Amino acid sequence: MLEPVALLCFAYLLGSISSAILLSKIMGFEDPRTQGSNNPGATNVLRIAGKKAAFFTLVGDFLKGLIPVLIGHLLQAELLLVALAGFAAFSGHCFPVFFRFKGGKGVATAMAATVAFSWIAGVFLIATWLLFAKVFKISSLAAIVSFSALPLVIFWLTRDPRIASVFVVMSALLIWRHKSNIQRLIRGTES
């Protein structure tokens, strides 16, 4: 019983470490929570600090989702627990205990958790995101579309409604965190 709790706590705490905020202090750019879209994520860091800072932010956010899920697999945990570890890391990114529960939207962390959970689902998710990002040139739209389809892919791969429900909740939360983007998409003002 202790091992699952430890894994989920580790995943959440790791997810709570904000790459964007820490890099703003290390690299000397403005806190992303006070600039641009006020989102501590790679897209906003790209806007305010450039490609190098955004790349490191993306890598940090990706590792937060990847590491706990890989540890779950290494421990040969039940797949439901592995999926929950990814969700815990994603939740930590969105609601970080170290930053007053005000975090990012979680796209990179959720993508990494998906890749680590199932490389097939991960390839589908990234390919869908890349396709929509290339065609429409709107990162938020690419995230919304790709994560909308993700739970169906997970269910098709696992045939387990419990695991699929973890990805339903993660995808729904990620889409909800994009509510301001959705409003701008409807108005036609999303950059």
Average confidence (pLDDT) over 47-64: 96
CA pair distance 125, 115, nearest whole angstrom: 8
pTM: 0.94
| pLDDT at res. 43 | 87
Q: What is the pLDDT of residues 68-123, one digit of tens each?
A: 999 999 999 999 999 999 999 999 999 999 999 999 999 999 999 999 999 999 99
Find the mean pLDDT for residues 31-55.
Answer: 92
Instruction: State the pLDDT confidence band at 37, using cuts at 50, 70 and 90.
Output: confident
The reported pLDDT for the residue numbered 2 is 75
Q: How far is CA 122 from CA 71, 82, 108, 111, 150, in A?
A: 17, 15, 11, 7, 9
129-151 confidence digits (pLDDT tens): 999 999 999 999 999 999 999 99
Please list, residue by residue across 71-106, b when 16 or more beta carbons sit within 10 angstroms of its beta carbon and e when fewer do: bbeeeebebbbbbbbbbbbbbbbbbbeebeeebbbb
